[in-house]
Structure 1
């Protein structure tokens, strides 16, 4: 099957591309920068330079494509707004896929997007879901809510480096999932008729709060976390201030997601129907405990090796210094 993966350089998109290649699909990746996407070419993917915000560039990208997997989203540092990328860009992509006769369209949304109309990214995802459903394309909508990979930079590394771990006053549990597992669902959807023209939650086995994750990291690393609490009122003030400047609108829209965290309502869902429809065994899904345990085991082993090498180098330096000084004469 000839696939077009959109957003293939991102945390999730690269796993989708990797999984598709491993399963023998022909993979074309729509990228804005060929240089940043060089690793995808090394994996065996075809690269085509295009931009969601330039509809005419999508036509050659979709030539002979059987299915599209859309994992793209705007980033806080992008010069383009959430509206430009996640709404206008996605509308252009869906329309181009229609015109190209694409047989399957897999779209990544967000869990519970319909419950937060005042959060720009959530509302745009909801509207995109509706637009896709009415497009006539044979679609599948996947709704994750958080990636295990993001926890490394948010919790694990600061704890190892004795830096502050920032948490909000409110604690909303989130059912994180490994992006490799999410990619598995995306590729499986291509061959599972039960997933056609439906939407599914794609979440972990349980929802974890910030303090639960911190305690787990402390236990696995043997180090104590330095916790700094960020009041929600302060985050809201920063968001309001950011709206005064056009260059920071994207940041302000991203900060609006803090309203989801402020509810304290867990981001989770039952996965029973999802596992049945996709024919995937729940036991194959990586849990947060296993993921972090594997990370800390590898990183602590590496730190011990580096410490040993450093000690050996220090001993050699001291020995050479002793000979030069005539200590052993």
Structure 2
């Protein structure tokens, strides 16, 4: 049963997962303060009990953000680089700024959203930052849970975009499997883990699918013929090398992550009730 007296600080409330987390927290009876960057974003968080305006990369604007807070949940991180900020600026230092505020107040639990296998892929720029923060959180003295979700349904939209052109391109055989999860399901799992004993929680959706099966679902959702082009895997490796050589981490980071993840199975414990097939059908109409 939820302790309705707990006060939660949610950082990243305007993002994909953050929006679902805010709804789920309120549904479960929590009092919620959210961090937003500017007054303009206030209309994105109508359910929040309190709004705190600050910039995650500027510690001076965060002073007092964790006052009277029991629980911090952070989904802070950048997928697409912008504003000239790097992963270390946001995923590491931004969360460190939040942790510093949490340690100086009454916060007794911190939940951080990383990603599946992040601890095993520290050589990737995105995880170098995320896992450096995880290391700091683990030694902070605050109780914590590291959430490690599989891909989101929203990440699978790339398959729909390819399907819209009439064919989907896959590297290799397309037999690598994953079980992406819907934001609503993931939010429910995250809230259920608040204050629990589980220090690291790997989370996936209910359906384990190969990349080829996902491609077929996307094509069917758009009433397209099943046309899947299999590219040799050496092209995937070559693209990563080229991007690392010719571009900055601000550009190649997301592609490095995506292309690396595609080369292996990413199967997580199954949670939730929302199915990728239904998501594709909704998005295609």
- TM-score, normalising length: structure 2: 0.85
Distance 2:81 2:173 in 1: 26
Cα deviation for residue 128 of structure 1 reads 1.8
Q: Does 1:135 align with 2:163?
A: no
Distance 2:81 2:134 in 1: 25
1:1-329 equivalences under 5 Å are 1-40=6-45, 42-78=46-82, 79-151=84-156, 153-159=157-163, 161-162=164-165, 165=168, 167-169=170-172, 171=174, 172-190=176-194, 193-195=196-198, 198-224=199-225, 231-232=235-236, 233-243=238-248, 249-258=249-258, 260-261=260-261, 264-271=263-270, 282=271, 284-293=272-281, 295=282, 299-300=284-285
Aligned equivalent of 1:314: none
* Larger helix fraction of residues: 1
* CA contact 1:9–1:37 (8 Å) conserved in 2: no
Distance 1:45 1:228 in 2: 50
SS in 2 for 1:285: coil
Distance 2:146 2:247 in 1: 32
Which of the two has higher C-alpha Rg?
Answer: 1
User: How many residue pairs get matched?
Assistant: 274
* CA contact 2:67–2:106 (8 Å) conserved in 1: no
Distance 2:165 2:88 in 1: 38
- TM-score, normalising length: structure 1: 0.75
* CA contact 2:33–2:49 (8 Å) conserved in 1: yes
Distance 2:258 2:215 in 1: 19
Change (3 A) 1:241 1:63: same
Change (3 A) 1:270 1:96: same
Query: 1:151-205 CA distances to partner (integer Å, 9 max, x unpaired)?
Result: 2x3123553x446645445744322001111111121122x5333xx11101123
Aligned equivalent of 1:279: none
Distance 2:226 2:251 in 1: 27
Structure 2 unmatched ranges of 5 or more: 1-5
Q: CA RMSD in A?
A: 2.5
Structure 1 unmatched ranges of 5 or more: 244-248, 272-281, 301-329
Distance 1:148 1:49 in 2: 29
* CA contact 2:240–2:259 (8 Å) conserved in 1: no
Distance 1:189 1:205 in 2: 18
Distance 2:68 2:229 in 1: 52
